[in-house]
With several copies, the nearest count.
Chain A
């Protein structure tokens, strides 16, 4: 197989667009960025060799606009489109449009996406392939009433889910019938704005399961392997916050079983490329198919750390007809953990905090990897996902990896917007996390512990620092004023604007 791509359009933004472009650049491929009007100043535009505007800020009118993106690909003479994750990455009609335009879509064939893309259809497929699934509906509901009736039958709590989506968007856990209507409305609305599809179904809510997923990879010659698991149970608002591999709850037998099932699931739909089979694992260590993400996963770096692979390169190779380079199981080496840095305020129910990043210092040193999509001076727009960076580490053992990630997070400085940096460190320091015994209920359960309890010594340091800072500004202002007018006064220090 000879490489045939020369130019790759990345139909995405933020860190994942940059991640994909990095591998392209290393392979000597030219890169094409697309951007919405809100993203003209984004880093991915500056790092690409070409850049085309694809529409106004709302994703539906830009990053989800198939025509605009295909137009850009044609103008740029791109051979291939990498969709990243989210946006059009799991949209089978876009895959067909690429096929029709003669542009390679870097991902599975439309048929595999059809089979897995709609959550409900995927569940039906899996049942047929003898893969265990979570009890629940096999198709989206047409009406609220229908959904209510089904929920009643399955029994609360239930989980409302976007049929066309993933990544925790358009999901709502509903405790009781009284909350059903508002959850239904919110889930549908988020599903629409995230995936352009408001179809919603529901599943029985398993009691505090673990979320464990298996990375699979298939080539076009019928080969499919798995690259071990990722533990993704640390979730807030149904979105992953910290991921790690190996999972602290898997043993080699369970890993092999889940890996086999994941490969079977992928093969049953004729899968090609990188995919992730997500499972829920309950307290008895039974596991259930949850969904298959038919694209690169946000948390793929932890798999890269313990395997030494470049998964984006594998995606590009497979899309150009290459066979998988090996078919034996790969034993993970050491341990890796990733933390997602969000522009949000954990103390305000994870309220997003878009705005300008005034200053940025990113951690470094041994076995620390930063995947960020921002820069100092960048204005984080309010239209898209609030994740600004992924910080991941590797170490020989899990305790060392925790210590390393905590150390790295301690070096991270983001000013101008609120982030979850401290919250992330609190998670790493929490006894349940340290023990490796945490399920999807962990973060909500531990919420107050993770937020509370300022250190009295640090509060004292803050007061001392603030008082001296006020004094220094007063001295500086007095010097300036006396130099200019020979009359010095001092007042509110904080209103003079920042001292630079």
Chain B
């Protein structure tokens, strides 16, 4: 039974913890995590659902992918988990991704309409300062700066529609 090592973290910036997974045949696995060993039975169902039995305890788990992370829904709680295997960890180390300080992009969190842009290129902003207002579903939503810094790019134009994830403003 070959053991595969995974690296998992549930918070940005956190050091990943190791998760060792050994197949026990069928859909059963021995998993060592945070110093404890568990026996898991994981049945993959349609639509990204998994029925998990951990040492006799039953969990209805739902998975959704968001970029590199997976969002895991268990008993109402959504946990974002970033899982990588050894190869992926090496690639990350080489590529130097996940060093995201510096430039911060404020992106549209949903499709909507830009109703107000409060800043222009060159403005100095404080953390939490209102930058853009996007209207969707009859509600106006103010997007705030994630950091103190300077506005280096303004892509948002008042009155225009934007797609989910569209770049609005970049703060450095």
Contacts and interface: CB of A to CB of B under 8 A. Distances in A.
B7 to A, nearest CB: 9
B119 interface: no
Interface in B28-61: 29, 31, 33-34, 38, 40, 42-54, 56-61
B72 A465 contact: yes
A489 B87 CA distance: 10
B10 interface: yes
A460 B136 CA distance: 35
Contacts of B141: 349, 351-352
Contacts of B72: 462, 465-466
B62 A415 contact: yes
A302 B137 CA distance: 25
A183 to B, nearest CB: 11
Interface in B51-108: 51-54, 56-65, 67-70, 72-79, 81, 83-85, 87-88, 91
Interface string A416-452: 1000011001000000000000000000000000000
Nearest to B64: A415
Interface string B1-39: 000101010100000010101010001010101100010
Interface residues of B, number: 72
B46 A468 contact: no
A189 B140 contact: yes
Interface in A392-429: 409-410, 413, 415-416, 421-422, 425
Nearest to A423: B76
Contacts of A385: 137-138
B137 A386 contact: yes
A494 B136 contact: no
Given A76-B56, A499-B44, A490 B6 contact: no
Interface stretch (A39-47, A102-110, A114-122): A39-47
Contacts of A190: 138-140
Contact of A50 (B58, B64, B79): B58
B109 interface: yes
Interface majority SS (helix, strand, loop, mixed), chain B: strand
A51 B43 CA distance: 13
Contact of A490 (B57, B63, B87, B138): B87
Contact of A460 (B34, B46, B47, B67): B34
Contacts of B54: 461, 464
A194 B48 CA distance: 35
B37 to A, nearest CB: 11
Contact of B74 (A376, A461, A475): A461
Contacts of A461: 52, 54, 59, 61, 74
Interface in A236-273: 237
Given A33-B58, A51-B56, A422 B137 contact: no
Contacts of B73: 413, 415
A343 B75 CA distance: 19
A355 B40 contact: no
Nearest to A489: B87
A466 B4 contact: no
B45 A41 contact: yes
Contacts of A376: 46-47
A384 interface: yes
B78 A353 contact: no
B98 to A, nearest CB: 13
16 contacts: A41-B45, A45-B53, A46-B58, A190-B140, A343-B137, A385-B138, A415-B47, A415-B64, A459-B79, A460-B33, A462-B10, A464-B38, A464-B54, A467-B31, A470-B6, A492-B84
Given A382-B112, A455-B75, 7 more contacts: A359-B62, A382-B136, A386-B137, A454-B77, A463-B81, A465-B61, A499-B44
Interface of A: 33, 40-41, 45-52, 75-76, 169, 186, 189-190, 193-194, 237, 343-345, 348-355, 358-359, 376-377, 382-386, 409-410, 413, 415-416, 421-422, 425, 454-455, 458-472, 474-475, 489-495, 498-500
Interface of B: 4, 6, 8, 10, 17, 19, 21, 23, 27, 29, 31, 33-34, 38, 40, 42-54, 56-65, 67-70, 72-79, 81, 83-85, 87-88, 91, 109-112, 115, 133, 135-142, 164
